[in-house]
Amino acid sequence: MLGKLFKHEWKATWKLMVIMNAAVLVLSALGAVFFYRNSAVVKPLFDSLERTKDGDTLYMLACMGYFMLLVLSICVLAVGCTIYFYVRFYRNLYTDQGYLMHTLPVTEHQLIISKTFVCIIWRIISALVVLTGFLVLMSSVFSEDFRLMDIIKEINKAIFDMGMIKGMIFLIILILGMLGKAIFTTFTGYTCISIGQLASKNKVLAAIGVYFGMRVVMQMITTFGSQYLAIIGMMAPDMWFEMFENNENAMIVFFGIAVVVEYLICGAMYMITHSVMQKRLNLE
Amino acid sequence: MEPILRCRNLTKCYRPGHPVVSDLTLTLNSGRIIGLLGPNGSGKTTLIKMINGLLRPTSGEVYIDGFVPGPESRNVVSYLPERTYLEAQDTVSDIIGFFDDFYEDFDPDRAREMIASLKIDETARLKTLSKGTKEKVQLILVMSRNARLYILDEPIAGVDPAARDYIIRTIVGNHNPGSTVLICTHLISDIENILDEVVFLKNGHLVLYGTPAEIRDKYGCSVDKHFREVFAC
């Protein structure tokens, strides 16, 4: 049943997500052509433009307009993806459509997992699309100085300079951290929407209130934690050095702890969402 | 006859001390068409939601074909809520595919046949259909399952008399023989002649459970008239 839920969730969401991702890719590709000034096709065009003062202004305006459009499309993709899946979760499970979804022969776990899985896949795809677009654009703008292979080699070198095992651990923590962030963002919305359902009226408003409350608490914990570590580092640098020997070790340990905490919070949020759905469901 | 639904001391309070359904004990047998009748606020929809697992009882138990409300019980219950629960962007064909995927007892050919008999375009999106047509599509989907218990919440409310006749014909002509149909409605006169049993709810309490013939014999009037007397304002 989980496979069927996943199939229908994918079918219901792919069109809009493809359009949003395609918009970012097309804009990045257009920008790449636009800025690739050594190209035999584009160079004469810009040369003729820049011979006049008006040409310069026009070129600058076009650049600014383009970058604004690109940044806007990336923001729409990032924020839009998040909001779209939050709204879909709410509409599909807590409004009239919930009468169908909650009377399917499936468990609440399957409902939550299928929606989370599709949302996370689209988050990963969107992140890759933005990264690809950015790299294509950069390699075009700085065509002489920007070499993608050089950057990959540099990253590779930095990781392996840590040592084979340490480098691999760091890489794994990095990937888990990025995945954890996607799960965390998804569950934050799902949990707030579910907690909002406990209000007798104005459930959406209650969900928004819970969301901001949760953000403030998380921010306070993060700030307090990082400040606490910084103070220890400043006040007892010897102890710091004895504990970790070098900065790389400290980075791996603290980053690892942060990732574990992130997954624990995700687990707690999952349980809250499931509990509301199973025990406190009350569709209007 | 085997019971399909058993409720034992079922109570639901939204606020402490204010039960909407109160200590309800009820057993419904298979192979019957049963009217669940009562005025607004009598607890009919709350009871239906608890049977479907959309609400948790405050106390008491409910069993459907021996299962507590959950994925197993949903396999044997075909539920028509009073809301339109279908995605407006989907086509009629998409929704038939959806039901076919999730319900093993769903008969897509029967659904298509009924859709075609109403001259509804299968490729039409639901948002392009009228409210009445959407309700008919929803009823067709629910009645195309070979379920053991059909629960229909206000299936004939707010529709014209011709549509009402169509809905009643669809219910009577398509429910699985041997199954139970529980119809919740205010419009008793329209369905009185198809009911095998009636259940009266008042303020969350069961006040009457019997056959229409028993009610006519005992009170000397129709179920509809007796309803008006019991629930007179």
On chain A, the residues whose CB falls within 8 A of the CB of B16 are: none
Maximum CA pair distance of chain B?
52
CA angle at residue A273 from A267 to A274, to 5 degrees? 90
Flag if B54 and A283 touch (Cβ within 8 Å): yes
What confidence score (pLDDT) does residue A54 get? 58
Establish if B58 touches chain A: CB-CB under 8 angstroms: no
Report the share of chain B in percent with pLDDT over 70. 99
Is B61 within the bounds of a domain?
Answer: yes
pLDDT digit string (tens) for B125-166? 999 998 888 888 999 999 999 999 999 998 888 778 888 888
pLDDT digit string (tens) for A181-227? 999 999 999 999 999 999 988 999 999 999 999 989 988 888 887 78
- CA torsion sign for A29, A31, A33, A37 is negative
Rounded CA separation A177/A256 (Å): 8
Domain count along chain B? 1
Flag if A104 and B101 touch (Cβ within 8 Å): no
What confidence score (pLDDT) does residue A39 get? 55
Query: Under a CB-based contact definition with an 8 Å cutoff, are residues A7 and B97 in contact?
Result: no
Among residues A85, A86, A93, which one has the least CA distance to residue A125?
A85
Given a cut of 60, whether residue A149 has pLDDT beyond it is: yes
Is B113 within the bounds of a domain?
Answer: no
Alpha carbon separation from A258 to A222, A264, B183, B226 (Å, rounded): 9, 10, 55, 68
SS3 content of chain B, % helix, strand, coil (to 5): 35, 30, 35
Per the listing, tokens 């954890």 go with: A180
Quote the minimal CA–CA distance from A92 to chain B in Å.
9
Q: Report the mean per-residue pLDDT for chain A.
A: 83
Flag if B49 and A283 touch (Cβ within 8 Å): yes
Flag if A105 and B72 touch (Cβ within 8 Å): yes
Residues A55-66 have a mean pLDDT of: 70
Alpha carbon separation from B32 to B25, B37, B72, B224 (Å, rounded): 18, 15, 22, 19
Quote the minimal CA–CA distance from B56 to chain A in Å.
6
- B91, B95, B98, B131: which to substitute to probe chain A, counting the most A Cβ within 10 Å? B98
Q: Where are the domains of chain A?
A: 1-146, 148-284
Residue of B nearest to A277 (CA): B54
pLDDT-based confidence at B36, cuts 50/70/90?
very high
User: 3-class secondary structure for A208-228?
Assistant: HHHHHHHHHHHHHHHHHHHHH
Flag if A105 and B101 touch (Cβ within 8 Å): no
Flag if B83 and A96 touch (Cβ within 8 Å): yes
Residue of A nearest to B88 (CA): A97
Residues A69-77 have a mean pLDDT of: 80
Domain CATH for B36: 3.40.50.300
Which residue segment(s) compose the domain that B30 sits in?
Answer: 3-91+149-230
Residue of B nearest to A97 (CA): B85
What confidence score (pLDDT) does residue A155 get? 75
- Residue-by-residue DSSP string for B107-175: -HHHHHHHHHHTT--TTSBGGGS-HHHHHHHHHHHHHTB--SEEEEESTTTTS-HHHHHHHHHHHHHHS
On chain A, the residues whose CB falls within 8 A of the CB of B14 are: 282
